[in-house]
């Protein structure tokens, strides 16, 4: 670890690892420290079974021998049976952390790799629904986390603005479209048309042909009616999406719809052909993936000559590689598309690229409903705006009740409501399906976003009332805040692990522990009004470290940080 930014407990962990490695005469990378289950055992632990086996001795004896051999600065080693436990000395811990936690670069990294993150990617002409929440908040969080670690991050929104579905929409628009309705509520009207198409398609076979003709016209590249209307729908939809992106603090460097790659599709097909991977099958063009262990081939062109999702994704990937030469390109897309990504990577592999393995699907579980499945086609959707609005509305009532004197209740309510929804999504493992439950999403107590925001706001409040510079901090007066320092000290490692595993939950859980330690701290140890300016200064430093770390952590997750609530 050659990075120069403060790493919290990692500094002590490194010393322990080095000392143990030296004592065992092994390279340091063979030593894996764990976290004791019981906090009273200290911050790090190491079971001795493995090493005892190699040395053919009793694990407990080895542990005992190591304890007497080890001499680590600021860390006390002890053994319980075959376990070695390490406890950072109170004063050293407080000294290190009281300084680290307040630094602007606490936990930051100095990587210079280039990471692309594709996320959100809603479909034009359909409302963003609750399912888009996951990709949007997970993707935005991962992008911020990688950026915090120093990566050159490129955020891409791969808008679904192309494909045969737009043939359907255009066919429906020709028959039942209304200019007035479109102007008033664009997405609502387009959704209505889409739903009606699917309803009438069952009894009217001419619709299907009309839809295919419309898409053919659209894909012809000519400036015709199909293209003009499609463009109009696209602009109107994007206008509505932008409000949601802003509310969720989801920013993008590139909003590139699938259509952006339209003029690259022929080149892509030729590139595949040159690589010798194309085959013709029933008039369609495919890439066989049997050799890669995938029994379903990848379809590149339909028998009608139109392109498909996979074609456009391949073109996009190649275009991105040519443009960015990324170290990794993450696709935050639902788990139900796992096969698609397997196929799409396998095609690139068969083409002989040396970068196919830098493409990574970041799958997440489905949002389900107890009342049964939602379906865009049938018009049963839970709009994301509605979820956010409802959370904000409830937050508004609570602010009114708890802090009637707040100067800007609407703004806090927006921040708290959004924070609750965003955090609720990010505190779970992304792979697991989630059952949408209003009671949980709208909960503001316990392990929730508002709890973290509250803790942060309390810190701000104390610092505001102190109203002065914090100077001459004496760490000895903070040696009794062990739980707080340990929790804060784990923040840098949590950020790194969240990035490595592409799992924001790891950061979310760490922040909850920090907030819990923080709440206990300022409840037990009064900061202001002690008639002891030296003690007050020291505790203010702790509060400021807590505030700073929470502010950074919440920012990374996309949870707003009001200073008063």
Partner RNA sequence: GCGCCCGUAGCUCAGUUGGAUAGAGCACCGGAUUUCUAAUCCGGUGGUCGCAGGUUCGAAUCCUGCCGGGCGCGCCA
* Residues 232 to 261 in contact with RNA, rule: CB under 7 A: 258
CB of 563 to RNA, least distance (A): 7
Would you call 319 exposed, middle or buried from its count of C-beta atoms within 10 A (0-12, 13-18, 19+)?
A: middle
User: Closest Cα partner for 476 from 548, 535, 543?
Assistant: 535
165 binds RNA (CB under 7 A): yes
Among 391, 473, 507, 527, binds RNA (CB under 7 A): 527
* Residues 116 to 155 in contact with RNA, rule: CB under 7 A: 123
* Residues 74 to 103 in contact with RNA, rule: CB under 7 A: 80-83, 85
Q: What is the 3-class SS of 354-377, one letter each residue?
A: CCHHHEEEECCCCEEECCCCCECC
Site string for RNA, 393-412 (x = CB under 7 A): --x--xx--xx--------x
* Residues 491 to 510 in contact with RNA, rule: CB under 7 A: 501, 505-506, 509
Q: For the chain, what is the largest distance between any 2 Cα atoms, rounded to a whole number of angstroms?
A: 87
Q: How far apart, in whole angstroms, are the C-alpha atoms of residue 398 and residue 550?
A: 22
Number of Cβ atoms within 10 Å of the Cβ of 316: 22
- Kindly indicate which of the ranges 5-13, 34-42, 239-247, 469-477 contains the residues binding RNA, using the contact rule CB under 7 A: 34-42
516 binds RNA (CB under 7 A): yes
526 binds RNA (CB under 7 A): yes
Q: Which is nearer to RNA, 221 or 283 (CB)?
A: 283
454 binds RNA (CB under 7 A): yes
User: Closest Cα partner for 452 from 382, 367, 370, 551?
Assistant: 551
Specify the pairing of strand 359-362 against strand 367-369.
unpaired
- Kindly indicate which of the ranges 1-9, 244-252, 279-287, 321-329 contains the residues binding RNA, using the contact rule CB under 7 A: 279-287
* Residues 303 to 332 in contact with RNA, rule: CB under 7 A: 303-304, 306, 308-310
- Kindly indicate which of the ranges 64-72, 265-273, 348-356, 426-434 contains the residues binding RNA, using the contact rule CB under 7 A: 426-434
* Residues 338 to 357 in contact with RNA, rule: CB under 7 A: 338-340
- Kindly indicate which of the ranges 177-185, 263-271, 353-361, 428-436 contains the residues binding RNA, using the contact rule CB under 7 A: 428-436
Q: How far apart, in whole angstroms, are the C-alpha atoms of residue 402 and residue 370?
A: 32
444 binds RNA (CB under 7 A): yes
Kindly state the helix (H) or strand (E) to which residue 92 belongs, with its residue range: helix 90-100
Q: Which is nearer to RNA, 152 or 516 (CB)?
A: 516
CA-to-CA separations, 182 to 91, 232, 323, 332, in angstroms, rounded = 67, 10, 37, 31
Q: Are 390 and 360 in contact (CB under 8 A)?
A: no
């Amino acid at each position: 670890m050659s990075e120069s930014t403060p790493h919290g407990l990692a500094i002590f962990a490194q010393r322990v690892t080095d000392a143990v490695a030296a004592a065992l005469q092994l390279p340091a990378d063979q030593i894996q420290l764990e976290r004791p289950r019981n906090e009273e055992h200290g911050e790090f632990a190491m079971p001795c079974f493995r090493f005892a086996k190699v040395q053919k001795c009793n694990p407990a004896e080895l542990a005992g021998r190591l304890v007497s051999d080890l001499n680590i600065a600021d860390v006390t080693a002890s053994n319980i049976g075959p376990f070695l436990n390490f406890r950072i000395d109170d004063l050293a811990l407080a000294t290190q952390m009281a300084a680290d936690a307040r630094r602007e670069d606490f936990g930051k990294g100095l990587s210079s790799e280039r990471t692309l993150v594709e996320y959100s990617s809603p479909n034009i002409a359909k409302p963003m629904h609750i399912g888009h929440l996951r990709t949007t908040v997970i993707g935005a969080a991962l992008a911020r986390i990688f950026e915090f670690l120093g990566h050159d991050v490129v955020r891409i929104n791969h808008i679904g603005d192309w494909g045969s579905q737009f043939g359907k929409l255009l066919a429906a628009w020709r028959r039942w479209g209304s200019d007035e309705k479109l102007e008033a509520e664009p997405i609502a009207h387009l959704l209505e048309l889409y739903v009606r198409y699917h309803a009438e398609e069952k009894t009217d076979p001419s619709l299907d042909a009309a839809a295919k003709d419309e898409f053919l016209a659209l894909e012809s590249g000519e400036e015709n009616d199909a293209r003009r209307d499609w463009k109009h729908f696209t602009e109107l939809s994007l206008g509505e999406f932008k409000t949601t992106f802003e509310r969720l603090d989801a920013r993008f460097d590139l909003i590139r719809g699938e259509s952006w790659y339209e003029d690259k599709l022929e080149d892509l097909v030729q590139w595949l052909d040159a690589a010798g991977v194309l085959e013709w099958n029933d008039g369609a063009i495919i890439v066989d993936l049997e050799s890669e262990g995938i029994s379903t081939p990848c379809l590149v062109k339909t028998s009608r000559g139109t392109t498909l999702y996979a074609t456009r994704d391949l073109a996009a990937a190649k275009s991105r590689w040519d443009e960015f030469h990324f170290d990794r390109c993450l696709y935050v897309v639902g788990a139900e598309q796992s096969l698609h990504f397997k196929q799409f990577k396998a095609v690139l592999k068969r083409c002989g690229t040396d970068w196919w393995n830098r493409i990574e699907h970041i799958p997440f579980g489905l949002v389900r409903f107890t009342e049964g499945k939602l379906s865009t086609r049938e018009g049963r959707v839970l709009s994301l705006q509605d979820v956010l609005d409802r959370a904000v509305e409830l937050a508004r009532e609570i602010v009114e009740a708890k802090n009637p004197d707040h100067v800007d209740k609407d703004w806090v309510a927006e921040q708290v409501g959004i924070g609750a929804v965003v955090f609720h999504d990010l505190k779970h493992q992304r792979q697991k399906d989630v059952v949408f439950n209003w009671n949980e999403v709208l909960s503001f107590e316990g392990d929730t976003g508002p709890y973290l925001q509250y803790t942060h706001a309390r810190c701000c409040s104390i610092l505001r009332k102190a109203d002065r510079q914090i100077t001459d901090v004496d760490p000895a007066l903070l040696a009794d805040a062990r739980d707080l320092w340990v929790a804060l000290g784990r923040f840098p490692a949590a950020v790194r692990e969240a990035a490595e595993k592409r799992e924001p939950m790891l950061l979310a859980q760490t922040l909850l522990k920090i907030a819990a330690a923080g709440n206990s701290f300022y409840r037990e140890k009064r900061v202001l009004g002690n008639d002891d300016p030296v003690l007050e200064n020291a505790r203010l430093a702790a509060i400021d470290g807590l505030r700073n770390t929470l502010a950074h952590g919440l920012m990374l997750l996309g949870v707003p940080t009001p200073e008063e609530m």
